[in-house]
Amino acid sequence: MRKLALIIIPALGLFNSTLYALPDYDPFADATGSGGTSYTVGANLVGQTNAQGQGWSLAGSTGAQPVISAGNLTVSGLASSGGNSVSYGMAPSSPTPTVSARFNLGSTINSGTIYYSMALQVTSLGSLTTGGAFIAGFNNSAGSQSSTPSTFASRVYTRLSGTGFNVGLDLNGSTATQYASPTYNVGDTLFLVGSYTFVTGTANDTASMWINPDSSTFGAGTAPASTLTSSSSSESDIAQIASFMLRDGSALEPGVIVDDLRVGASWADVTPAVPEPGTTVLCGLGFGVLALIGWSRRSRQ
């Protein structure tokens, strides 16, 4: 039985070794059983802590905050842990909205490529214009602050298009925003994947976005061709990424719902296919352990 224990214990350790490193995941679900918070429907997102111990901080001072909403956004083929979702946007013009919710990452990234993914639904166009408004993106800081952050990377934009909207990408706010041509309708559920790549040198980092990527690519070792790419040779690169922000800082933003936010170091990290890889491994380990126990008992008979 000693040999059996030596086999089982290291295998079980696999499930804890990367728990608090990338990928980071927030399904906006009750995490009180893991030392987090309840994510109660109607509560502010700021102040919540997920099952990995990562919290949401306030960045700004005035205006409505993102709040926990009941229900989920479903993306076909994508693994989901249920929970709730988050709604924000359509902030009133007075007082001037300056509030964002900052998801503090478990790591600070300053090299390679970092990805995010989220399900997105625009619930109302509000005062959105053809000039567009950005609603989310990577940020270079963590923790709380009373002012509105100015540095965002791989920004998610929306703009008015007839009776619907387009989705766009901006490297860090100083480049021309790239928009995808499809016009989406209020109530459509989109799956967005974004990335930011640090490139050695200056003014040469790049950002990419995938809008509704094919589910056959979920969990793949390499990312498929992106929908949009943004780069510039005339502006400063972001020095690091320490958080992801849901920006509620403009009266021009539409009303949106966001669900299943993931941040990771690879395409596979942020596009886990159904069933979750961890579940498959756990089941396999369980069957393996049972088989080993049975073999051990038979060998003693």
What average pLDDT does the segment 124-146 reach?
95
Residue 6 has pLDDT above 50, yes or no: no
The residue behind tokens 């490139």 is 199
**What pLDDT was estimated at residue 250?**
81
Contacts (Cβ under 8 Å, ≥6 apart) of 130: 159, 160, 161
pLDDT at 220 over 50: yes
How confident is the model over 48-65, as a mean pLDDT?
A: 92
Whether 285 has a pLDDT exceeding 80, the answer reads: no
What is the identity of the amino acid at 134? F
**Segment 34-54, tens digit of pLDDT:** 999 999 999 999 999 999 999
C-alpha to C-alpha distance for 28 and 119, rounded to whole angstroms: 12
User: Which residue segments constitute the domains of the chain, with CATH numbers given?
Assistant: 22-274 (2.60.120.560)
Instruction: Check: CB of residue 130 under 8 Å from CB of residue 161.
Output: yes
pLDDT one-digit tens code per residue, 157-204: 999 999 999 999 999 876 789 999 999 999 999 999 999 999 988 888
Q: The whole model's pTM is what?
A: 0.84
The confidence score (pLDDT) of residue 260 equals 97
Where does the pLDDT of residue 10 fall: very low under 50, low under 70, confident under 90, or very high at 90 and above? very low
Mean pLDDT for the stretch of residues 222-226 = 98
Least confident of 22-36, 58-72, 107-121: 58-72
pLDDT at 176: 81
